[in-house]
C-alpha cells in the first residue's frame, strides 16, 4: 500500500463559475509535491473536464453539490470527482471519443478522452439516478527524476 | 473571458483573453457570433495568443463557429495556438476543419491583402 501524505476534500455548488475555482484549488494543493508546470496544467485540464461533466451532465445545470477528493502520495495525486446527479446509463458509450449526449450545447464529446490522455489512470463508476464518480491518478514523473 | 475584435473589410480577428472553459464559452460564442453577423467580413480568425487555459469546451467553440461561418460561405482559421491547446485540438482533428494560420499570413490579411 502506498502511503498517503496529505488529503483534502472540496465541496461546492454545481455552478459553472466553480470550474475555475476547482482548477486553481486543486493546482494549489498539488503544488506541495512540486510538480512541473506541464504536470499541473494536465491535472487542471482533467479537473475542468470532470467538474464540467458533473455540472452539465450529472446535475443537468440544476443545483447540486460537486465533491472533489484529493490524496497526495510521494509520486503523484489521486483525484475523485463525484456528483449525486443523473448518472450514466452506458459508461462505455459515454467514454467514446466524440460521443456526446448534448450536441445542442456545442459539446465536443471529448471530455473523457481528454481526462484519459492527460492523466495516467481513469475509472468511471456510475449509477443512473444515483450519480457518478470519476477517479483519476496522475504520476508526477518529475519527482522520480529528482530522487533517482 | 474578454474578446477583443480587430477588423478590416476582409477579415475579423477575435482575440480571446483569459480562460476558455464551459463557464466562459457561452459568452464567447455570443460575442463572436454577434460580430460575425454585424460585420461583412468573409474571414474569421480566432486568435489564441492570450488564452491562458482551455479545456475541451474550446473545441465546441471553434467547431460551432466553423459551422456558422461556412453557412455564410466564409472562411475560418485559428492562430497563435500554444502546444497545450494544440494537443486538445489534435485529439479530434479540429485542424482538418479549421486550419492554423501562419503569423505572416495573419499580417497579410490584417493589412487588407489576400492569401
Percentage of residues in chain B having pLDDT higher than 90: 81
Instruction: Kindly provide the ipTM of the predicted complex, given to two decimals.
Output: 0.92
Q: What is the DSSP string of B78-98?
A: EES--HHHHHHHHHTTHHHHS
Query: pLDDT by residue (tens digit) across B47-67?
Result: 999 999 999 999 999 999 999
Q: Grade residue A128 by pLDDT with cuts at 50, 70 and 90.
A: very high
Write down the H helix ranges in A1-148: 18-30, 37-53, 91-95, 111-118, 141-147
The mean pLDDT of A61-86, rounded to a whole number, is: 97
> What is the spatial distance between Cα B78 and Cα A88, in angstroms, rounded to a whole number?
34
In this prediction, residue B108 carries a pLDDT of 80
> What is the spatial distance between Cα B86 and Cα B78, in angstroms, rounded to a whole number?
10
Q: Which of A16, A97, A114 sits opposite B23 (nearest CB)?
A: A16
In this prediction, residue B103 carries a pLDDT of 78
Interface of B with A (CB under 8 A): 19, 21-23, 25, 29, 53, 55-57, 59-61, 63-64, 84, 87-88, 91-92
Helix (H) or strand (E) holding B53: strand B43-54
Chain A residues 30-49 within an 8 A CB cutoff of chain B: 41, 44-45, 48-49
Q: What is the DSSP string of A42-78?
A: HHHHHHHHHHHHIIIIISTTSS-EEEEEEEEETTEEE
The end-to-end CA distance of chain A, in Å, is 21
Give the position of cell 466553423. B66
In this prediction, residue A144 carries a pLDDT of 66
The mean pLDDT of A1-14, rounded to a whole number, is: 95
In this prediction, residue B104 carries a pLDDT of 77
pTM: 0.93
Q: Residue B46 class from Cβ within 10 Å (0-12 exposed, 13-18 middle, 19+ buried)?
A: buried
The mean pLDDT of A72-100, rounded to a whole number, is: 96
> What is the spatial distance between Cα A112 and Cα A133, in angstroms, rounded to a whole number?
12
Query: pLDDT by residue (tens digit) across A55-73?
Result: 999 999 899 999 999 999 9
CB contact under 8 A, A52 and B63: no
> What is the spatial distance between Cα A50 and Cα A41, in angstroms, rounded to a whole number?
14
Query: pLDDT by residue (tens digit) across A22-49?
Result: 999 999 999 999 999 999 999 999 999 9
Q: Which of B55, B64, B84 sits opposite A48 (nearest CB)?
A: B55
Contact yes or no for A14/A58 (Cβ under 8 A)? yes
* pLDDT(B73) > 90: yes
The mean pLDDT of A118-146, rounded to a whole number, is: 92
In this prediction, residue A64 carries a pLDDT of 98
Q: Grade residue B3 by pLDDT with cuts at 50, 70 and 90.
A: very high
Distances from the Cα of A129 to the Cαs of A23, A82, A87, A105, in angstroms? 27, 13, 5, 22
In this prediction, residue B77 carries a pLDDT of 96
Do β-strands A76-83 and A121-127 pair in parallel, antiparallel, or remain unpaired?
unpaired
Residues of B in contact with A23 (CB under 8 A): 53
Amino acid at each position: 500500500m502506498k502511503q498517503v501524505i496529505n488529503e483534502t476534500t472540496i465541496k461546492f455548488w454545481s455552478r459553472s463559475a466553480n470550474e475555475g475555482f476547482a482548477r486553481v484549488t486543486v493546482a494549489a494543493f498539488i503544488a506541495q509535491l512540486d510538480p512541473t508546470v506541464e504536470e499541473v496544467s494536465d491535472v487542471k485540464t482533467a479537473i475542468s473536464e470532470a467538474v464540467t461533466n458533473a455540472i452539465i451532465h450529472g446535475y443537468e445545470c440544476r443545483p447540486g453539490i460537486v465533491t472533489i477528493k484529493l490524496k497526495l502520495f510521494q509520486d503523484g495525486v489521486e483525484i475523485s470527482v463525484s456528483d449525486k446527479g443523473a448518472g450514466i446509463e452506458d459508461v462505455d458509450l459515454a467514454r467514446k471519443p466524440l460521443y456526446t449526449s448534448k450536441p445542442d450545447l456545442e459539446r465536443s464529446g471529448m471530455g473523457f478522452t481528454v481526462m484519459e490522455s492527460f492523466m495516467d489512470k481513469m475509472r468511471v463508476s456510475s449509477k443512473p439516478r444515483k450519480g457518478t464518480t470519476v477517479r483519476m491518478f496522475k504520476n508526477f514523473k518529475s519527482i522520480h527524476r529528482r530522487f533517482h | 473571458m474578454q474578446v477583443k475584435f480587430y477588423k478590416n473589410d476582409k477579415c475579423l480577428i477575435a482575440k480571446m483573453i483569459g480562460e476558455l472553459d464551459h463557464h466562459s464559452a457561452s459568452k464567447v460564442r455570443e460575442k463572436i457570433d454577434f460580430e460575425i453577423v454585424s460585420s461583412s467580413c468573409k474571414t474569421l480568425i480566432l486568435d489564441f495568443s492570450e488564452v491562458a487555459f482551455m479545456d475541451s469546451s474550446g473545441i465546441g467553440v471553434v467547431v460551432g463557429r466553423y459551422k456558422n461561418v461556412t453557412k455564410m460561405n466564409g472562411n475560418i482559421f485559428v492562430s497563435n495556438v500554444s502546444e497545450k491547446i494544440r494537443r486538445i485540438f489534435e485529439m479530434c482533428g479540429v485542424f482538418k476543419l479549421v486550419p492554423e494560420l501562419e503569423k505572416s499570413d495573419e499580417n497579410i490579411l490584417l493589412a487588407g491583402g489576400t492569401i
